[in-house]
Each structure stands twice: as C-alpha cells, then as structure tokens.
Amino acid sequence: MTRTRSDDLQAKRQEAMGVLSHCQTAEIARHLDDVAVPDHEQLRAPEDGLVMLRGRIGGDGAPFNLSEATVSRAAVRLGSGEVGFGYVLGRDGAKAQLIALCDALIQSPCYAATIETQVLPPLRARVAAERKRKAEETAATKVDFYTLVRGEG
C-alpha cells in the first residue's frame, strides 16, 4: 500500500500535536514569535469542557465510564483557507489556540517548512530530553526481584 500526500500530512499533524501537547504555552508562543504568522480568524474561540474517560475491565474486557477530564479546545482558519484544531487536557485556552494555529500552519504549503524547521525541532528536543530524564529517574528506582530455589535433600 502506498502512502499518499494526505497520509503524510496527517502523520505530520499527529506527530506535531503530540509534541505541542507536551509543551508549555509560553514555550510554544516564544518559538512562534520568530515566525511571520499570517492573518487568521478564530472559528472557535478557546473554550473549556469535559470529556468522558473510558476504561476496560481487565484492560480488554467490557468498557465502562471511568471519569471525566477537563479539556480546552480552539479552532482557527488561515486567510488561505487551512483550518487548524487544538485540544489540550486541562484549562489552557491560550495553549489550545496556539496549537490550533500551528496545526493550520503545518497544512499551509507556505508555512509548513518554517514550522518544521523553526518551531518543532527545539520543542521536540526539549520533550525528548524531559522523557529521557524521567526514564532515568524511573530506572534509578528499579528493583530486581529474584527467587532462590532451595535444594531438597
């Protein structure tokens, strides 16, 4: 099966959203300040809401409603027509708006390369470093258990 341009764009958007969702609002804004952001309009002003979190009994059994989580969402449209969406856990409408703007810019042929070279690489590096630090902290607390077998007789 061959990948289409649409599949590649979707994969880029998903990867970018994964990085942006783990960054602070000010961090995203700081990197976007270096980009000449085009005119855009809010399709959906930042708003907070709830989503239902679902679980499965035993991990793969019957689904059940586990809890609710607060989310913020926003949507923007560039003057050239690209529409971007931003969703984040918690109540951070400004972050949702910045993520929506980045999503729209990634879809724009004029701005995609700029976002890929100026905004996302430093954020990716910071997120990767944070994950590595947490993994090292976790590994430092690892305890190896073993069983001694007693011989009979």
pTM summary value:
0.82
Domain spans of the chain, in order of start? 8-123
Give residue 148's pLDDT band: very low, low, confident or very high (50, 70, 90).
low
Three-state secondary-structure class, residue 149: coil
pLDDT tens for each residue of 75-111:
999 999 999 999 999 999 999 999 999 999 999 999 9
pLDDT tens for each residue of 14-50:
999 999 999 999 999 999 998 888 999 999 999 999 9
What percentage of the chain carries pLDDT values higher than 90?
Answer: 77
Which pLDDT score is estimated for 6? 82
Name 97's Cβ contacts closer than 8 Å, sequence gap at least 6. Answer: 42, 46, 74, 76, 86
pLDDT of 153 > 60? The answer is: no
Name 118's Cβ contacts closer than 8 Å, sequence gap at least 6. Answer: 31, 34, 35
Cα 72 to Cα 90: distance, rounded to the nearest angstrom? 6
